[in-house]
Amino acid sequence: MAEPAAQASTQARLQQGPSGGSASSGPNTGSGSGSSDPARPGLSQQQWASQKKAQVRAFPRAKKLEKLGVFSACKANDSCKCNGWKNPHPPTATRMELQQQTANLSEACRSCGHALAEHVSHLENVSEEEINRLLGMVVDVENLFMSVHKEEDTDTKQVYFYLTEVLVKLHSAPTGAFTASSSKSIGINIELQCSLPSATGVHSSGEKRKLPEALTLEDAKRIRVMGDIPMELVNEVMMTITDPAAMLGPETSLLSANAARDETARLEERRGIIEFHVIGNSLSQKSNKKILMWLVGLQNVFSHQLPRMPKEYITRLVFDPKHKTLALIKDGRVIGGICFRMFPTQGFTEIVFCAVTSNEQVKGYGTHLMNHLKEYHIKHGILYFLTYADEYAIGYFKKQGFSKDIKVPKSRYLGYIKDYEGATLMECELNPRIPYTELSHIIKRQKEIIKKLIERKQSQIRKVYPGLTCFKEGVRQIPVESIPGIRETGWKPSAKEKNKELKDPDLLYNILKNLLAQIKTHPDAWPFMEPVKKSEAPDYYEIIRFPIDLKTMTERLKNRYYVTKKLFIADLQRVITNCREYNPPDSEYCKCANTLEKFFYFKLKESGLIDK
């Protein structure tokens, strides 16, 4: 029950029944499953479930583990696929006798042959309270199972299946009975009795209608995006990166060189080395000696780290009842903190002081401190920070998500926050959906997932392409998409680059063919029609490393070498460059090259291949 795999298979178990014969203890509900159970006159399903839960909670520890073992996958070894312990001796006794029988943790499973203890090894150190909570879930599953199998009405049965899907996704067990004693409970009853039937197409007995044909279960699923990664692959990768044998995380090894800034602070907090407390002075309650000592420590930290700020001013704000401070405590003493004042009516908080003592800096405490402050404000419904940062603090606040772009209207903070000369006003907008204290860990995990997915994709591409030869022929650069096999890896050009290139290769071929024909018919193209003969210029190929001519370009065009306009323009420019490199500037050849260059650039602009 405690494992995700066991929870995910709950709906399938409703159709097959719990392993080991536990289903025999469920209720016997009839059609419509009203308030009374026909098999137990005077008892509603809820009353029966409460009684049943009380019975199983009174079981001995071994008997409880036996009942949970039915829903627990075998952990004897990785090769065992058994998803629940099955009693080798199916019960034939009455229910009361069955409850009194003792359980034996060494009893072998009828399916896999492993002992019951191998199925419930993960529950050895679980508290009795948690065991009882899981047993309550088992009773609910058995109740649903029997309700599905005894129900004859197809619409009501569909409600049970819908309930199962909802229960599998819940993060906590469902609550008990709802009375009509408050407006809140009335609203919940309306949700249970009206919203649920309307979602499944059932309205009331005698008034039933089918779901509209346009609305199907497929419509409720998440829309798949082209190129989206299957969830099965993502789950498999997740299993890899969370397996200590496959990847050592920060908990089992030294911190890596590229660990997040706040990784050290996060680990120290988990181990109890550092603590975070929101404290403040109070005039209405009796002073707490420890809090007063911490406030004095904060005043000293701020005074040492902010020498340009008057000490009396720091003291006044730290001990001001309107201000609060998030204190960072290590070994019982204050090593840092953030002093702030909340303005709930204005929807923002002003950060007044922020500092960590010098000998504890560069350990990620500042980042973790700010992340705790963000989560504190999300709980209180304030999603904007404002602060005046001096030239030395701007870099820190930028790393924490602050910006000089102020979205809070000036009318909301003008006259509320303190203005500092020579400082810059900065703002941070909080996202209530982000767990800031775990953000860097989540981003690291996402990067690991992406890296593994890329490795999987690369392992599937086994074709080896020959090396590129265009660079030997003088081409200095080529488009990424022209590299053989690059598209098969999943690479896609950006929208900006995609718009620059012609999408139709046949259209590009016809444009280049027409353009090359016009260049060849130009009066000044005669020196470049064919390759230079060695008999006419013996040292030509010693000086010109990458020769090119219009005849060679024609052959390349026929062979579909020019997959992009850049390749074609590069060869045209190479014709002109070679001529200027070999011949004197005032020669007839160079004059022809200059004239032809102007002509083909004019034609390139005319055909839309380059910007005008």
At 551-607, the pLDDT tens digits run 999 999 999 899 888 899 999 999 999 999 999 989 999 999 999 999 988 888 887
CA torsion sign for 435, 440, 444, 446 is: positive
Rounded CA separation 92/21 (Å): 10
Secondary structure letter of residue 526 according to DSSP: G
Beta strands across the sheet bearing 333-343: 274-279, 324-330, 333-343, 348-356, 384-389, 424-429
Count CB atoms within 10 A of the CB of residue 136: 20
pLDDT at 385: 95
The string of DSSP codes covering 186-252 is HHHHHIIIIIHHHHHTEEETTEE-PPPTT--GGGGSPPPPTTPPPHHHHHHHHHHHT-TTT---TTT
In sequence order, what are the residues at sequence separation of 6 or more whose Cβ sits closer than 8 angstroms to the Cβ of residue 107?
87, 88, 115, 116
Burial class (CB in 10 A: 0-12, 13-18, 19+), 47: middle
Contact yes or no for 71/84 (Cβ under 8 A): yes
Q: State the chain's mean pLDDT as an integer.
A: 76
Would you say 306 and 355 are in contact if contact means Cβ atoms under 8 Å apart? Answer: yes
- What pLDDT shows up at residue 503? 61
Alpha helices (runs of H) in 478-587, residue ranges in sequence order: 495-500, 505-520, 540-543, 550-558, 565-582
Q: What is the pLDDT of residues 269-319, one digit of tens each?
A: 888 999 999 999 988 888 788 999 999 999 999 999 988 888 999 999 999
CA angle 256, 258, 262 (to 5 degrees): 90
Q: How does pLDDT run across 418-456, given as a tens digit for each residue?
A: 888 888 999 999 999 989 988 888 888 888 888 887 777
**Cα gap 592→428, rounded to integer Å:** 63
Q: Which amino acid is at 350?
A: E
Phi and psi at residue 77, in whole multiples of 5°?
-160, 170
| Residue of 329, 326, 334, 192 whose CA lies nearest to 273 | 329
Average pLDDT over residues 255-268: 70
Structure tokens at 93: 């006794």
The overall pTM is greater than 0.85: no
Which of the four pLDDT bands, split at 50, 70 and 90, describes residue 91?
low
Structure-token pair, residue 345: 């009516």
Residue 384's φ and ψ, nearest 5 degrees, are: -135, 135
* Domains, the chain, ordered by start: 4-177 (no CATH), 265-439 (3.40.630.30), 471-606 (1.20.920.10)
CA distance linking residue 129 with residue 57, whole number of Å: 9
Convert the pLDDT of each residue in 512-544 to its tens digit.
998 999 999 999 999 999 999 988 888 998 888
Token code pair at residue 543: 């000086």
- Could you tell me the pLDDT band of residue 493, with boundaries at 50, 70 and 90? low
Span 172-182, mean pLDDT?
50
Per the DSSP assignment, residues forming a β-bridge with 115 are 108
Q: What distance lies between CA 502 and its chain's CA centroid? A: 36
User: How are beta strands 274-279 and 207-208 bridged, if at all?
Assistant: unpaired
C-alpha dist (Å) from residue 423 to 255, 353, 390, 394, 395:
36, 13, 5, 9, 13
The pLDDT of residue 11 is above 50: no
Would you state the structure tokens that stand for residue 582, as one six-digit string?
A: 């070999």
Catalytic residue among 66, 142, 263, 350: 350
Please indicate whether residue 350 is annotated as part of the active site. Answer: yes
Residue 193 has pLDDT above 80, yes or no: no
